[in-house]
Structure 1
Amino acid sequence: MSTPTITKIGSKAIARYVRMSPHKVRRVLDQLRGRTYREALIILRFMPYRACEPITKVLRSAAANSEHNQGINPADLVVYEAYADQGPSLKRFRPRAQGRAYQIRKPTCHITISVAEAKSEE
């Protein structure tokens, strides 16, 4: 596999307040960084994780942004940056024995993907 050289920074897309742990999302994003747009879509289609669905939406949005705003062909795109930051946790309470209550934290995350135009060296 030849390494593509980035010629022009494309666009980025952000999904905010995704109801998923950022730790679980990062496990998928680590597989995409540096891949071409098409490779990333194929990887996401066959990975068995729930995080693949929102990541696919963000990746397609970033590609659409670069195509619409800068006229870059999606076939020439590479995943330049991909990261997940922690969002606010939803706090819920579970009743326990003898009138007590335990706190349950439901994490959220912000998914950011940047794509760039690349020329492959062959």
Structure 2
Amino acid sequence: MATQARAVQRTARQSPYKMRLVIDQIRGKSVNEALGLLQFSKKHAAHQIGKVLRSAVANAEQAARAAGTSLDVDTLV
């Protein structure tokens, strides 16, 4: 079973539609690829999602000492 990590952003001042546009682009990608896509995206939501994704990676590394390159973006809600 793969290690799962969770990070939640509360009170996001962005519409769900605009966030979902960016999330759909990175769903299923590796963490490094997703962070690269977010870094060069012009959408404001990409910055917020990038912060949450980096937090989830840090949580996964802290919990299971997993390597950051072996993690995949599986579920984004």
TM-score normalised over the length of structure 1: 0.61
Question: 4+ residue runs of structure 1 moved beyond 6 angstroms?
Answer: none
Cα deviation, 1:31-79, whole Å, max 9, x if unaligned, reads 1110000000000011110001110000000000000011111110000
CA RMSD of aligned residues (A): 0.9
Q: Which has the larger radius of gyration?
A: 1
Query: What 5-or-longer segments of structure 1 have no aligned partner?
Result: 1-6, 84-122
What count of residue pairs does the alignment treat as equivalent? 77
More strand per residue: 1
Q: Whole-Å Cα distance in 1 between the matches of residues 69 and 52 of structure 2?
A: 17
**Equivalent residue, structure 2, for 1:55:** 49
* TM-score, length basis structure 2: 0.95
Q: Percent identity?
A: 39
Can you list the C-alpha shifts for 1:70-92, whole angstroms capped at 9, x where unaligned?
A: 11111100001012xxxxxxxxx
2:9 corresponds to which residue? Answer: 15
Q: When you count helix as a share of all residues, which structure comes out higher?
A: 2
Any idea what the Cα deviations from partners look like across 1:1-22, whole Å, max 9, x if unmatched? xxxxxx5032111101111101
For 1:16 and 1:61, the matched residues in 2 are separated by: 13
